[in-house]
Structure 1
Amino acid sequence: MSIRRKLPPFTALTAFEAAARLGSFTKAAKELGVTQAAISRQIHVLEEQFGFPLFLRLHRKVKLTEKAMALASAAQDAFDLLANSVAEISKGDHDPELTIAATVAFSHFWLLPKISEFSSQHPEINLRIITQDDMPNIESSDLDVAIRFGNGMWPDGQAELLFDDEIFPVCSPDFAERAGTIASPKDLLRYPLISNMADDPTWTGWGEWLAAFSVELPKKKPGLRCSLYTDAIYSALNGQGITLGWRHLVEDLLAQGRLVKLTDAALKTRNAYFAVVPKRRRQSEAAGSFLDWLTETVNPAASPASKEAQPKRSE
């Protein structure tokens, strides 16, 4: 018997996959451009063929039955693979495109200053960089790689560790000269502290940083409050006060002498930066090249060239 005879009707599988993914016959109908009744009929066709219900009909939503969960997972994998294959062959002979997502701070201070190195190594790859703090679902978008900060556990992607970080107070050289010696973290309270109002619970603010050194942040401490971390850094660059510098984000500014560390006190982050790629989608050659470049940039000692240059140990 041919495989086609073993498979349910493609139209019915399409309706089932959409309803399972969206959890709604109405939303599936809207996505596929048909009526809700048409979706219900196609689901009924499958249920008749299998001999058991695929969905529990609840108020304003539907829920997969236990038996249907395996079918839903297989259907989504199959449709994703088919869609990706169609996308690949549709590109023809055009140059490959790589879509990367990163937060505003990471993109501004780390990725964009370094990405020209990747472009010079791979001039055939067209880059598209999406900068936003609210990260989209990587499985349901056209992203190839997302740079995220967190614990590495995201259901929509497979994460590869880039680096953890440490946080310490920074300011402009002129402000540091005016401030004088900072003997302990408590001394920072004498000066304006620049903060940013991050919605991300993994982001460390002044309250948490000072608490790590047994210092309580006053409730009405004067200081500039910014909506974005980039604004806080630029405010510090312009002498507005002291802000928290994340080492990997401000290392270039420190090397250029535009920012200075005020104290050796530093707090290790609980989380880290990861490169995240889709789990179900086949990785493109361009994405693989970018991940290799990231690894070599973050850890030059691990690159093949560095390993070849290291002297061999005598046997």
Structure 2
Amino acid sequence: MSGFRRQLPSMTSLVVFEAAARQLSFTRAAAELGITQAAVSRQVQALEQNLGFQLFRRLHRSIELTERGQILSKSMSEALGTITRTVQSLTAETSPGELVISASVAFSHFWLLPKISDFRRLHPEIRLKVISQDANVNLLREDVDIAIRYGEGNWGDGRAIMLFNDDIFPVCSPDYLAANGSPDCVADLIRHSLIVSDSPDPSWIGWDRWLNAFGHGAAPRNVALSCSFYTDAIHAAMRGEGIALGWNRLVHDLLQQNRLVRVSAESLRTREAYFVVLRNGHPIKPQVEAFLRWIRAERAQPGIAAPETAAALSEA
């Protein structure tokens, strides 16, 4: 049998293709790989020329995989996942105390990192690595022990353990409230300066869904500031720029510190929840077991309870 080098295209182009196929974006693949978007495009084009067929359809502002591209993408993800797991098993003894956790930027910033010192005091022997990014990592391919995700809990790359739901209500700074007064109702709330944030996750609840739950989805509103990240929206609210939606589990400490105040009795209970997700097909390491014990104890800690007058809803 002839060597793999004669049967396969460039491994570099195959790895670049796998990233572009998984991200469905040359730009995001370039950021992940640490190269330019033009370099990704050149590698994909070279691979397509070598294979003799297209792997992507180039649309106006996006790309999508062709049928052959989908087949190759699936094969590459499985192959790289197998290699990753093999390398991890062979090198496990060199880093037995490391625990790699992935979470969204907002969850890491507002919930995990403020509490993680307690875990480190309990387990000083465990080296922690926290990966903060809003796109879900692929647990079958990435070197991640635990992912903390928000959603319905049905991810194909891991086993999900529910942590908690959340309650969402408007928040602002004490200075903004003193200068502008407290809204009397939702109809009054939408006349205030609202801060919105984008999210690639369709299950994430923004102002549109929150207002719609209280019958004001179509009402005009005063959007004073739009942010790309939820963390920026909350920091803008703390600086007095307007009113943002506070996710109770994320802004709990800020409310306790009076850096934010709640401005409405209305509260929306999420249908989705936060989950710990463990990799499929892997034994649970002692570090993972220790983290699970700790986070289960943390989830039992009460959050800011909604007042009895709140219209707390569960989305259908």
TM over 0.5: yes
* Alignment of 1:299 onto 2:304: no
In the TM superposition, 1:41-80 aligns within 5 A as 60=68
Percent identity over the alignment is 41
Superposed CA RMSD in Å reads 3.3
Q: 1:78 to 1:140 in 2, by over 3 A?
A: closer
SS at match of 1:291: helix
Match of 2:92 among 88, 93, 98: 88
Give, in angstroms, the shift of residue 62 of structure 1.
8.9
Contact 2:194 2:242 survives alignment (8 Å): yes
* Alignment of 1:238 onto 2:248: no
* Alignment of 1:207 onto 2:224: no
SS at match of 1:133: coil
Q: Distance in 1 between matches of 2:69 and 2:225?
A: 46
Q: 1:173 to 1:217 in 2, by over 3 A?
A: farther
Give, in angstroms, the shift of residue 60 of structure 1.
4.2
In the TM superposition, 1:127-166 aligns within 5 A as 127-166=128-167
Give, in angstroms, the shift of residue 78 of structure 1.
8.2
Q: Distance in 1 between matches of 2:133 and 2:243?
A: 25
In the TM superposition, 1:240-279 aligns within 5 A as 240-279=241-280
Q: 1:211 to 1:300 in 2, by over 3 A?
A: closer
Which residue number corresponds to residue 33 of structure 2? none
TM-superposition CA deviations, 1:174-198 (whole Å, max 9, x none)? 2122333422111102210000021
SS at match of 1:222: strand
SS at match of 1:194: strand
Please tell me the residue identity of whatever aligns with 2:113. L
Q: Distance in 2 between matches of 1:78 and 1:220?
A: 51
* Alignment of 1:99 onto 2:96: no
TM-superposition CA deviations, 1:84-120 (whole Å, max 9, x none)? 431223x1xx551111111110000000000000011
Which residue number corresponds to residue 118 of structure 1? 119
The count of corresponding residues between Structure 1 and Structure 2 is 248
Q: Distance in 2 between matches of 1:86 and 1:227?
A: 40
Scaled by the length of structure 2, what TM-score is found? 0.69
Give, in angstroms, the shift of residue 216 of structure 1.
3.1
Which residue number corresponds to residue 194 of structure 1? 195
* Alignment of 1:182 onto 2:186: no
Give, in angstroms, the shift of residue 288 of structure 1.
1.3
Contact 1:84 1:282 survives alignment (8 Å): no
SS at match of 1:147: strand
TM-superposition CA deviations, 1:242-296 (whole Å, max 9, x none)? 0000000000000111111111100011210001110122221111111111101
Tell me which structure has the larger Cα radius of gyration. 1
After TM superposition, the structure 1 stretch with the greater mean CA deviation from structure 2, 143-152 or 292-301, is 292-301
SS at match of 2:215: coil
| Stretches of structure 1 lacking an aligned partner (at least 5 in a row) | 1-8, 16-23, 37-57, 302-315
Give, in angstroms, the shift of residue 199 of structure 1.
1.9
Q: Distance in 1 between matches of 2:200 and 2:83?
A: 35
Which residue number corresponds to residue 288 of structure 1? 289
